[in-house]
């Protein structure tokens, strides 16, 4: 059956797919060229290439949505069902979509970009580069627009906020230039509607709320269309081969369906945020029912109130409103069919997801999509402003979120080495599970390791090849222990220096394990020798961070005051340490903050031999202030208590060291395969 199915696919695709003549430049290639132009000082090239990348990114998404919806309409499923008719429609839709997309974009394979690039576009990183480029080109109006667009998704970016204030005072920059180029139409209309509602303009608010609903349902269709591609279901490999055709189809369909089901969360989440706006879709109907009441359109008010109760059945105050409207009108009324259909589909999807996830052998938990009555005025349950929609749904019920159980934490154990000096403990650093130590390295060791770094580190190593992963104003270079040992074996650096890197990382591990009184072995999770260098000519009036505030094993959500221990965070990391090699640079202080990512609780000025160690969770948000001059070098270490997550390269390095110690390595080849991660 499987062979027959595959043969049918290949034959039908060969017949139905026309050759593609169109070609759209891939946005990841344009993005990479734009970044390269930025560091080459070609700011005109930055604007041309980055605007091209943004246009290509938008066109790819538009084309996929348009083609998938068009082919879906062109090849509907028949009313009478059979296996052959079902797969006939599936194959024809696939051929239709491939041909449609290929006609517009060219060969689809060239538009399959890495998840890192997609994340950069989702975080609006291109607009940061554009803002700086337009600034250099003396085009403040376009710089203001790019800065405003970036800031909407990155409100914690101090430098961008200050840039926006400066743009307001520049000649030629007007209010109309501060526009969000990536604004989501449904959220934009909703926000504007709330403002009119608060000002008492109920007629204007009604029009915009209705627009927001229309845009929401349109965006929902587009969001779901974009789900019809390869998916990643946490804990399950979607490419895993299943012998049964129906299991194979079930697995992929379940993953696509999960993506579609999560569009509820996506459409309610503002750019750059982790948590959705509380009670987002139902609040449209809540605002509308009272706005219609205010303009004496009670039939519409009743309809919207009944629609709200579809989401929150039996909610007391809305039920009272419904009773009032029915009494005045003398009829019962009906909720809006669009919302009723939307909820019926949502519940059917949930039923199918539970079946499909069980077949896949993974756990699925329904999210809390509509927090009960959030953002309402208790006096009459009528929305009173933006308080509700600005709040966030707790995502503690989100799938696969695990909140670590409180554990007893200790510190103050022996420092293992006589030379090591305790500078500050947790109390002095205004937190928990924190320590600052000096003299972990000698001046000679620091000098040798810095010399080693200048030879072995490569731009972008440890950051998936990205030379400036956190800020365009600095260059990052790194190297792993295994790569350094490889250089030593090849004679490119003294083996003594490579061995020193290995040894001092073990020294740091032993100190952290001992000081925090851990009763089980602390394993290496990742070890990285990293230098960050201020880029000359880009440091004027700079107030951004070298490394944004974050936690090491969870996703920091400052506005919700939470840290969610879930992928893509490195949830297995338990302790972290930074061992500094120098202090002869400007800026670059290491900082701890509160969970709001703004309130600094402690600041550490790096210097040779100084080490800061801490637990890796949400209790220790941290970052690095901008390096505005010189080069800052350190050994960054992450540890785990779970041996399953031991660093593979470290185990290989252990074997190399053991072989060196027994002299059995001479005359043999080292099988070293450095891994670029972090």
Say how far apart CA 360 and CA 326 lie, in whole Å: 48
| Domain limit, last residue, from 144, 160, 182 | 182
Task: Please give the pLDDT value at position 514.
Answer: 95
Identify the CA nearest to 555 among candidates 398, 336, 429: 398
Q: Is residue 394 part of a domain?
A: no
Percent of the chain at pLDDT exceeding 90: 41
Q: Is residue 247 part of a domain?
A: no
Say how far apart CA 485 and CA 505 lie, in whole Å: 13
Residues 492, 356 share a domain: no
Lowest mean pLDDT among 38-52, 394-408, 411-425, 524-538: 394-408
Bigger pLDDT: 110 vs 197: 197
pLDDT at 375 over 60: no
Mean pLDDT within 491-497: 90
Task: Please give the pLDDT value at position 281.
Answer: 93
pLDDT at 60 over 60: yes
Lowest mean pLDDT among 405-419, 493-507, 572-586: 405-419
Residue 649 makes CB contacts below 8 A (sequence gap 6+) with 480, 481, 482, 527, 674, 675
Residues 446, 337 share a domain: no
Residues 446, 314 share a domain: no
Task: Please give the pLDDT value at position 86.
Answer: 77
Say how far apart CA 345 and CA 324 lie, in whole Å: 30
Mean pLDDT within 598-624: 95
Mean pLDDT within 522-526: 94
Residues 219, 168 share a domain: no
pLDDT at 163 over 60: yes
Task: Please give the pLDDT value at position 15.
Answer: 45
Q: Pairing mode, if any, of strands 434-438 and 611-615?
A: antiparallel
Residues identified as active-site: 632
Q: What is the DSSP letter of 277?
A: B
Mean pLDDT within 307-326: 91
pLDDT at 343 over 60: yes
Residue 573 makes CB contacts below 8 A (sequence gap 6+) with 525, 552, 553, 616, 638, 639, 640
Residues 601, 460 share a domain: yes
> What CATH code is carried by the domain that includes residue 220?
1.25.40.10
Task: Please give the pLDDT value at position 376.
Answer: 38
Residues 623, 536 share a domain: yes
| Domain limit, last residue, from 72, 90, 123 | 123
In terms of average pLDDT, the best of 151-160, 371-380, 436-445, 472-481 is: 436-445
Task: Please give the pLDDT value at position 80.
Answer: 74
Mean pLDDT within 563-589: 90
In terms of average pLDDT, the best of 8-17, 588-597, 640-649 is: 588-597
Residues 608, 646 share a domain: yes
pLDDT at 361 over 80: no
Q: Is residue 174 part of a domain?
A: yes
Q: Is residue 449 part of a domain?
A: yes
Bigger pLDDT: 377 vs 356: 356
Q: What is the DSSP string of 498-527?
A: HHHHHHHHHHHHHHHHHHTT-SS--EEEEE
Task: Please give the pLDDT value at position 214.
Answer: 96
Q: Write out 645-674 in H/E/C secondary structure.
A: HCCHHHHHHHHHHHHHHCCCCCCCCCCCCC
| Domain limit, last residue, from 82, 98, 123 | 123
Task: Please give the pLDDT value at position 510.
Answer: 96
Residues 282, 336 share a domain: yes
Task: Please give the pLDDT value at position 377.
Answer: 38
Say how far apart CA 401 and CA 234 lie, in whole Å: 11
Task: Please give the pLDDT value at position 158.
Answer: 64
* 238 band by pLDDT with thresholds 50, 70 and 90: very low
- CA 480 vs CA 44, 138, 317, 463: distances in Å: 36, 42, 61, 12
Residues 387 and 288 sit within 8 Å (Cβ to Cβ): no
Task: Please give the pLDDT value at position 111.
Answer: 67
Per-chain mean pLDDT for the chain: 81
Residues 191, 178 share a domain: no
Lowest mean pLDDT among 294-298, 478-482, 504-508, 559-563: 559-563
> What CATH code is carried by the domain that includes residue 512?
2.60.120.620
Identify the CA nearest to 675 among candidates 644, 653, 643, 642: 653
- The neighbouring-strand residues paired with 547 are 624
Task: Please give the pLDDT value at position 409.
Answer: 63
Task: Please give the pLDDT value at position 164.
Answer: 85
* 619 band by pLDDT with thresholds 50, 70 and 90: very high
pLDDT at 19 over 50: no
pLDDT at 463 over 70: no
Residues 628, 511 share a domain: yes
Q: Is residue 413 part of a domain?
A: no
Residues 50-71 as b/e (b if ≥16 CB within 10 A, e otherwise) read bbbbbebbebbeebbbebbbeb
- CA 205 vs CA 13, 183, 284, 539: distances in Å: 50, 19, 11, 45
Mean pLDDT within 9-33: 65
Q: Is residue 31 part of a domain?
A: yes
User: How many domains would you assign to the chain?
Assistant: 4
Lowest mean pLDDT among 60-74, 261-275, 296-310, 450-464: 450-464
pLDDT at 462 over 60: no
Residues 195 and 389 sit within 8 Å (Cβ to Cβ): no
Mean pLDDT within 174-179: 90
Lowest mean pLDDT among 87-96, 168-177, 208-217, 268-277: 268-277
Task: Please give the pLDDT value at position 469.
Answer: 52
Residues 174, 116 share a domain: no
Residues 156, 36 share a domain: no
Mean pLDDT within 390-415: 47
* 674 band by pLDDT with thresholds 50, 70 and 90: very low
Percent of the chain at pLDDT exceeding 70: 81
Residues 277 and 392 sit within 8 Å (Cβ to Cβ): yes
* 270 band by pLDDT with thresholds 50, 70 and 90: confident
Task: Please give the pLDDT value at position 363.
Answer: 73
Residues 335 and 362 sit within 8 Å (Cβ to Cβ): no
Q: Is residue 51 part of a domain?
A: yes
* 378 band by pLDDT with thresholds 50, 70 and 90: very low
Bigger pLDDT: 307 vs 101: 307
Mean pLDDT within 7-12: 45
Q: Is residue 202 part of a domain?
A: yes
Lowest mean pLDDT among 166-175, 246-255, 613-622: 246-255
Residue 618 makes CB contacts below 8 A (sequence gap 6+) with 551, 554, 556, 562, 563, 565, 595
Cβ-count burial of 577 within 10 angstroms (0-12 exposed, 13-18 middle, 19+ buried)? buried
Range of the domain at 96: 20-123
Task: Please give the pLDDT value at position 109.
Answer: 63
pLDDT at 589 over 60: yes
pLDDT tens digit string along 125-161? Answer: 899 889 989 988 999 999 999 999 998 887 767 667 7
Say how far apart CA 444 and CA 455 lie, in whole Å: 17
Task: Please give the pLDDT value at position 468.
Answer: 53
What pTM value is reported for the model? 0.62
């Amino acid at each position: 059956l499987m062979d027959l199915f595959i043969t049918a696919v290949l034959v039908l695709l060969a017949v139905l797919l026309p050759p593609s003549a169109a070609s759209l430049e891939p946005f990841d290639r344009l993005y990479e060229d734009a970044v390269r132009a930025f560091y080459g000082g070609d700011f005109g090239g930055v604007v041309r290439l980055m605007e091209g990348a943004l246009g290509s990114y938008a066109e790819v998404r538009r084309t996929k949505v348009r083609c998938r919806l068009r082919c879906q309409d062109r090849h509907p499923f028949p009313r009478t069902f059979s296996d052959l008719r079902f797969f006939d429609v599936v194959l024809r839709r696939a051929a239709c979509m491939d041909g449609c997309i290929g006609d517009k974009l060219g060969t689809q394979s060239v538009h399959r970009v890495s998840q890192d690039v997609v994340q950069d576009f989702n975080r609006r990183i291109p607009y940061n580069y554009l803002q700086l480029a337009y600034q250099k080109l003396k085009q403040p109006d376009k710089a203001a627009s790019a800065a405003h667009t970036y800031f909407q998704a990155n409100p914690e970016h101090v430098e961008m906020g200050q840039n926006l204030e400066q743009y307001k005072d520049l000649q030629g920059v007007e209010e109309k230039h501060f526009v969000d180029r990536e604004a989501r139409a449904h959220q934009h209309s909703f926000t504007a509607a709330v403002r009119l509602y608060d000002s008492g303009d109920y007629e204007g608010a009604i029009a915009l709320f209705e627009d927001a609903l229309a845009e929401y349902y349109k965006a929902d269709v587009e969001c779901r269309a974009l789900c019809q591609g390869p998916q990643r279901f946490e804990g399950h490999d979607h490419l895993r081969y299943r012998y049964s055709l129906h299991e194979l189809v079930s697995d992929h369909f379940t993953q696509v369906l999960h993506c579609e089901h999560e569009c509820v969360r996506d459409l309610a989440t503002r750019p750059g945020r982790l948590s959705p706006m509380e009670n987002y879709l139902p609040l449209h109907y809540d605002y509308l029912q009272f706005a219609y009441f205010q303009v004496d359109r009670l039939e519409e008010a009743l309809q919207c109130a009944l629609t709200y109760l579809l989401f929150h059945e039996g909610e007391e105050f809305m039920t009272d409103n419904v009773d009032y409207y029915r009494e005045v009108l003398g009829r019962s009324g009906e909720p809006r069919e669009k919302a009723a259909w939307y909820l019926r589909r949502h519940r059917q999807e949930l039923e199918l997801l539970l079946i499909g996830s069980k077949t896949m052998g993974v756990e699925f938990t329904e999210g809390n999509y509509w927090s009960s009555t959030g953002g309402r005025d208790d006096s009459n349950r009528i929305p009173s402003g933006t308080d509700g929609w600005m709040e966030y749904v707790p995502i503690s019920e989100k799938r696969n979120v695990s909140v670590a159980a409180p554990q007893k934490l200790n510190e103050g154990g022996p420092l293992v080495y006589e030379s090591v000096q305790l500078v500050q403990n947790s109390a002095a650093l205004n937190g928990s599970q924190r320590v600052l130590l000096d003299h972990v390295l000698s001046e000679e060791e620091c000098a040798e390791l810095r010399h080693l770094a200048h030879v072995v580190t490569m731009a972008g190593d440890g950051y998936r090849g990205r030379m400036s992963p956190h800020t365009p104003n600095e260059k990052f270079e790194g190297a792993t222990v295994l790569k350094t040992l490889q250089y030593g074996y090849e004679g490119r650096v003294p083996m003594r220096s490579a061995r020193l890197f290995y040894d001092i990382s073990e020294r740091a591990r032993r100190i952290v394990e001992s000081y925090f009184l851990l009763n089980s072995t602390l394993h290496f999770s990742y070890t990285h020798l990293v230098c960050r260098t201020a880029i000359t000519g880009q440091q004027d009036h700079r107030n951004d961070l070298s490394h944004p505030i974050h936690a090491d094993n969870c996703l920091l959500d400052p506005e919700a005051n939470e840290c969610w221990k879930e992928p893509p965070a490195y949830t297995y990391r338990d302790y972290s340490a930074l061992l500094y090699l120098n202090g002869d640079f400007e800026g670059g202080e290491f900082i701890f903050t509160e969970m709001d990512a703004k309130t600094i609780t402690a600041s550490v000025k790096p210097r040779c031999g100084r080490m800061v160690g801490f637990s890796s969770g949400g209790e220790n948000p941290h970052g690095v202030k901008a390096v505005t001059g010189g080069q800052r070098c350190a050994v960054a270490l992450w540890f785990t208590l779970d041996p399953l997550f031991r660093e593979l390269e470290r185990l290989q390095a252990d074997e190399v060291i053991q072989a060196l110690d027994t002299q059995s390595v001479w005359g043999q080849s080292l099988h070293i395969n450095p891994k670029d991660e972090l």
